[in-house]
């Protein structure tokens, strides 16, 4: 800093610490901290790095299963997928930066999650992203979509990792606070996984990758506060990404990981050099000393404070075997990346930072971690939603269907997908939209990975516990509908200000619902991220909170990828409806798009039925009985059937339900745990289902190119597609 800064409580508050937290800093240090030390405390104790509001509840989630190799606590979760391979995956948010600067916010979100995965030794093989945008009518939304989609594509396409799936929702609650949740799946040999715990006093600490600049200083703190009208003035806190450097970093790290040089490795993500050095030393129970003069710098005259807090992208920190530093240096020189020994491990248990001959920081690591604040914030349990009453159907079934398939949440996402390279790598078995989950093959094996992201925020808003359970159940169902065995979950919990009891109540209830579903479905959480303070302060002083959005990323495995099925309608088949239909219309897309209401309770989630129905469907896919399968989600049975018809161009004739349920409730209700399945012999499948205690009935027969409704009204696949595909190009202007 050019002018001296006084470190005191008021500066601490500016850095996002409370008075009480600053008191804790004083007692740990036994003196007034230096500016750099205060910076370290403030980012390490930020919501983003410390999970201080959420940790108590995250601990309640199930995290173990025989196939889990590493659960939460590492850079990403690791599961065993067979034949000596492990899948490494995580989802992470970049919400605030993506509103301030959509292109770079989204791009660096992709870059950050890629590093979390390859830092563990995995080659990234798939990207997905769960996006929530504001109302399509809001002019800002277009700017945000354009930037976010270009940013995701610009980064992912260049690094050569296929973007194979994801989801998009629209709601005015995201007008000033869109959500960008990026997920990466990587592949490693099970016995070649790299962890972050530092070891070996005296071992060199090595910095590789891009140089450090002044970008992103205090990014972690920014993402731990709500937005106000000055949000856009925070643009300098957003980092700038360089996917070309990231690609080189991936290749160089993987090349180095094939040697025995690395003791520990961690990417420099949020809070950059601070969090990577503190976490590596802390996990290893050692001390660390850094000499910032050796840090590769992009700008002159950077201070210790700036270097420790910078969030410049594409950087990694490693502890190497001292006798292997030359091997490592050569690899990074080949890839034309910076490589610098910037410190060493010590036995002091402190992080010591020196710069230009001055001691800039000396902090004991144990208290920094152990005395980090944890809050049990007051939580008001959400009110049970009032039941839905007296709705009527104003439109015919065919007019309703055409409107629904063209509505923002159900319209074709091709405009978005077509800007993402989904085939690079040559292992993409099912591209976006071809199956309920993306399917990527493990090269040189028959193993397939099924991957999906899911959450229905309007359900979570109405009933957070049911919504949390539903998000997990839908992810499990989407994996199942391809034939995959669901293995594990990564969660990205996006909520508003946890200091408000009603928001904390949403969080607690959603986590409770998720936990129940994960337990019932043997579907542990192995990694995740929490993003709080997703709300906007309006000029009149009121605030707009996002819908509670616990996005679930999930991974399943197919031992023989050749057995995977897609969702496209198959010729000359009978279509069987699996699962019970009561006609749940609360919180449905139908209710919102046709009647303009967001009301009622979301469809209940029966986890026992979910498991029973899903296990039945999976077994019938794997033995070749079911030749196409689609889970019934937003829009209900008729939308699901229309999606199957649009996917393959093969039509079907729907049968009259004869169920005693009103037609709109039968066809557009969103009851859970249901699938549509194509089979050659529907009666045989129904008999088999009955024996397994699974409700099933024939609902349609395939053929021709039209969707024929029970009334006899015919809608061609082409007409459905026209209605389905117009939304994005119309909104975005091309």
Partner 1 sequence: MKAAIIVFPGTNRERDMAIALKRVTGQAPRMIWHHETDLGDTDLVVLPGGFSYGDYLRCGAMAAHSPIMGAIKAFAQKGGHVLGVCNGFQILTETGLLPGALLRNANLRFLSQDCYLKVEAENTPFTHKWKKGDVFRTPLAHGDGNYTADIATLERLEGEGLVAFRYADAKGNVQADDAASNPNGSVNSIAGILSENKRICGMMPHPEDLVDPLMGGEDGLPLFQGLVEAVVR
Site string for partner 1, 151-180 (x = CB under 8 A): --xx--xxxx--------------------
Judged by CB under 8 A, the residue of 387, 426, 541, 660 near partner 1 is 426
Cβ of 168: how many Cβ atoms within 10 Å?
18
Are the CB atoms for 94 and 311 separated by under 8 Å?
A: no
Q: Out of 421, 516, 606, 610, name the contact with partner 1 by CB under 8 A.
A: 421
Give the nearer residue to partner 1 in terms of CB position, either 334 or 356.
Answer: 334
Please identify, using beta-carbon distances, which residue of 250 and 496 lies nearer to partner 1: 250
Residue placing its CB nearer to partner 1 in the complex, 43 or 561 = 561
Choosing from 27, 83, 233, 423, the residue that interacts with partner 1 (CB under 8 A) is 423
Q: For residue 603, how many other CB atoms are within 10 A of its CB?
A: 25
Q: Binding residue per annotation — 531?
A: yes
DSSP, collapsed to helix, strand or coil, labels residue 60 as: coil
Query: Catalytic annotation on 94?
Result: yes
In the set 48, 171, 344, 355, the catalytic residue is 48
- Residue 192: both structure tokens together: 């070649």
Task: Name which of 126 and 286 has its Cβ closer to partner 1.
Answer: 126
Residue 528 assigned as binding residue: yes
Q: d(Cα 448, Cα 501) in Å, to the nearest integer?
A: 43
441 is a site residue for partner 1 (CB under 8 A): yes
**Residue 215 near residue 312, CB atoms below 8 Å:** yes
Alpha-carbon gap, residue 103 to 101, rounded angstroms: 6
Nearest one of 183, 115, 110 to 152, comparing CA atoms: 110
540 marked ligand binding residue: no
Among 89, 339, 417, 590, binds partner 1 (CB under 8 A): 417
Contact 490/528 with Cβ under 8 angstroms? yes
Q: Which stretch, 353-361, 426-434, 641-649, 710-718, contacts partner 1 (CB under 8 A)? A: 426-434
DSSP assignment of 271-288: THHHHHHHHHHHHHT-EE
Assess whether 70 carries a catalytic annotation. Answer: no
Residue of 103, 133, 170, 420 interacting with partner 1 (CB under 8 A): 420
Start-to-end CA distance of the chain, whole Å, equals 48
Edge to edge, the sheet with strand 485-494 lists 428-430, 438-441, 448-454, 549-558, 485-494, 525-531
Q: Which is nearer to partner 1, 157 or 613 (CB)?
A: 157
Beta bridge partner(s), residue 676: 577, 630
If you ran DSSP here, which 8-state letter would residue 500 be given?
S
529 annotated as ligand-binding: yes
- Span 551-570, contacts to partner 1 by CB under 8 A: 561-562
The verdict on 30 binding partner 1 (CB under 8 A) reads no
Question: Which CB, 422 or 587, lies closer to partner 1?
Answer: 422
Exactly one of 70, 94, 171, 350 is catalytic; which is it? 94
Q: Is 272 in the site for partner 1 (CB under 8 A)?
A: no
Residue 614 marked ligand-binding: no
| 412 annotated among ligand-binding-site residues | no
Is 311 known as a binding-site position?
A: yes
- Nearest-approach distance from CB 158 to partner 1, in angstroms: 4
Q: Is the dihedral of CA 398, 580, 516, 440 positive or negative?
A: negative
Please say whether the beta carbons of 78 and 184 come within 8 A.
no
Residue 3 in tokens: 């002018």
- Which helix (H) or strand (E) segment holds residue 116: the answer is helix 102-118
Q: What are phi and psi of 86, to 5 degrees?
A: -125, 145
Please pick, from the candidates 221, 422, 490, 581, the single residue that binds partner 1 as defined by CB under 8 A: 422
Instruction: Map the footprint of partner 1 across residues 233-262, applying CB under 8 A.
Output: 242-245, 247-248
In the complex, minimum distance from the CB of residue 152 to partner 1, in angstroms, rounded to a whole number: 10
Among left, alpha and beta (phi > 0; psi -120 to 50; other), residue 624 is left
Is 83 flagged in the annotation as binding? no
Query: How many residues does this entry show for the chain?
Result: 734
CB of 551 to partner 1, least distance (A): 24
Query: In 10 A of CB 649, how many CB atoms?
Result: 14
Chain positions 332 to 371 lying near partner 1, rule: CB under 8 A, are 334-336
- The nearest distance, CB 57 to partner 1, in angstroms, is 39
Pair 11, 1: CB distance under 8 Å = no
**# residues near partner 1 by CB under 8 A:** 35
116 is in an annotated binding site: yes
Where in 332-468 does DSSP place strands (E)?
338-346, 350-355, 358-364, 428-430, 438-441, 448-454
Smallest distance from partner 1 to CB 305, Å:
31
In sequence order, which ranges of 521-561 are alpha helices (DSSP H)? none
Binding-site residue numbers for ATP are 51, 90, 491, 528
Binding residue positions: 51, 90, 92-96, 115-116, 239, 267, 311-313, 491, 528-529, 531
Which residues are known to be catalytic? 48, 94
Residues that bind partner 1 (CB under 8 A): 150, 153-154, 157-160, 242-245, 247-248, 334-336, 417-429, 431, 441, 443, 561-562, 734
Annotated binding site for Mg(2+): 92, 116, 267, 529
């Amino acid at each position: 800093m050019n002018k001296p800064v006084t470190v005191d409580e008021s500066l601490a508050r500016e850095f996002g610490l409370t008075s009480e937290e600053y008191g804790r800093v004083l007692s740990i240090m036994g003196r007034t901290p230096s500016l750099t030390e205060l910076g370290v405390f403030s980012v390490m104790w930020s919501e983003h790095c410390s999970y201080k509001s959420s940790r108590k509840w995250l601990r309640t989630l199930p995290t173990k299963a025989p196939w889990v190799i590493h659960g939460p606590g590492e850079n990403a979760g690791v599961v065993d997928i067979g034949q000596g391979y492990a899948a490494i995956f995580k989802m992470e948010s970049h919400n605030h930066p993506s509103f301030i600067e959509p292109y770079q916010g989204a791009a660096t979100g992709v870059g950050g999650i890629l590093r979390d995965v390859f830092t563990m030794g995995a080659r990234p093989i798939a990207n997905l992203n769960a996006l929530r945008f504001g109302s399509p009518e809001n002019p800002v939304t277009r700017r945000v979509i354009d930037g976010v989609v270009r940013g995701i594509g610009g980064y992912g396409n260049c690094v050569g990792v296929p973007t194979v799936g994801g989801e998009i929702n629209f709601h005015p609650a995201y007008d000033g606070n869109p959500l960008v949740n990026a997920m990466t799946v990587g592949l490693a040999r099970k016995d070649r996984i790299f962890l972050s715990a530092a070891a070996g006093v005296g071992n060199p600490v090595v910095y590789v990758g891009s140089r450090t600049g002044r970008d992103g200083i205090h990014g972690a703190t920014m993402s731990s506060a709500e937005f106000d009208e000055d949000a856009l003035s925070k643009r300098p806190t957003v980092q700038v990404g360089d996917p070309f450097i990231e690609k080189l970093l991936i290749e160089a790290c993987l090349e180095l990981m094939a040697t025995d040089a690395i003791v520990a490795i961690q990417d420099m993500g949020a809070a950059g050099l601070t969090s990577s050095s503190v976490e590596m030393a802390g996990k290893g129970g050692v001390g660390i000393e850094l000499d910032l003069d050796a840090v590769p710098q992009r700008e002159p005259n950077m201070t210790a404070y700036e270097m420790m807090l910078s969030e410049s992208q594409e950087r990694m920190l490693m502890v190497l075997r001292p006798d292997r530093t030359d091997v490592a240096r050569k690899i990074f020189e080949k890839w034309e990346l910076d490589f610098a020994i910037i410190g060493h491990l010590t036995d002091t248990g402190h992080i010591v930072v020196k710069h230009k001959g001055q001691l800039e920081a000396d902090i004991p690591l144990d208290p920094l971690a152990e005395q980090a604040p944890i809050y049990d914030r007051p939580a008001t349990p959400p009110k049970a939603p009032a039941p839905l009453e007296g709705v009527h159907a104003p439109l015919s079934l065919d007019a309703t269907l055409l409107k629904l398939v063209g509505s923002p949440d159900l319209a074709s996402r091709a405009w978005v997908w077509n800007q993402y390279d989904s085939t690079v790598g040559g292992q993409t078995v099912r591209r976006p939209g071809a199956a309920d989950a993306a399917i990527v093959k493990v090269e040189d094996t028959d193993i397939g990975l099924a991957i999906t992201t899911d959450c229905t925020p309007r359900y979570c808003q109405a009933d957070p516990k049911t919504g949390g359970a539903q998000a997990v159940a839908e992810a499990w169902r989407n994996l199942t509908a391809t034939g995959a065995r669901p293995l594990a979950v990564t969660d990205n919990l996006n909520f508003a200000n946890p200091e408000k009891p009603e928001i904390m109540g949403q969080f607690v209830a959603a986590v409770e619902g998720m936990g129940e579903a994960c337990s019932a479905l043997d579907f542990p959480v192995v990694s995740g991220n929490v993003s709080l303070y997703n709300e906007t302060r309006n000029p009149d002083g009121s605030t707009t909170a996002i819908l509670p959005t616990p996005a679930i990323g999930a991974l399943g495995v197919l031992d023989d990828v050749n057995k995977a099925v897609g969702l496209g309608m198959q010729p000359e088949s009978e279509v069987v409806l699996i699962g019970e239909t009561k006609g749940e219309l609360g919180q449905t897309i139908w209710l919102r798009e046709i009647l303009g209401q967001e009301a009622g309770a979301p469809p209940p989630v029966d986890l026992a039925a979910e498991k029973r129905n899903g296990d039945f469907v999976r077994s019938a896919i794997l033995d070749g009985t079911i030749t196409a399968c689609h889970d019934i989600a937003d829009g209900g049975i008729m939308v699901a059937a229309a999606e199957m018809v649009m996917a393959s161009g093969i039509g079907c004739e729907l049968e009259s339900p004869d169920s005693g349920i009103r037609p709109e409730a039968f066809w557009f209700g969103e009851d859970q745990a249901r699938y549509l399945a194509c089979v050659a012999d529907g009666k045989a499948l129904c008999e088999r289902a009955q024996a397994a205690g699974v409700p099933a009935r024939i609902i349609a027969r395939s053929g021709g190119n039209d969707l024929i409704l029970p009334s006899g009204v015919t809608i061609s696949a082409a007409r459905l597609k026209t209605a389905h595909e117009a939304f994005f190009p119309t909104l975005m202007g091309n």
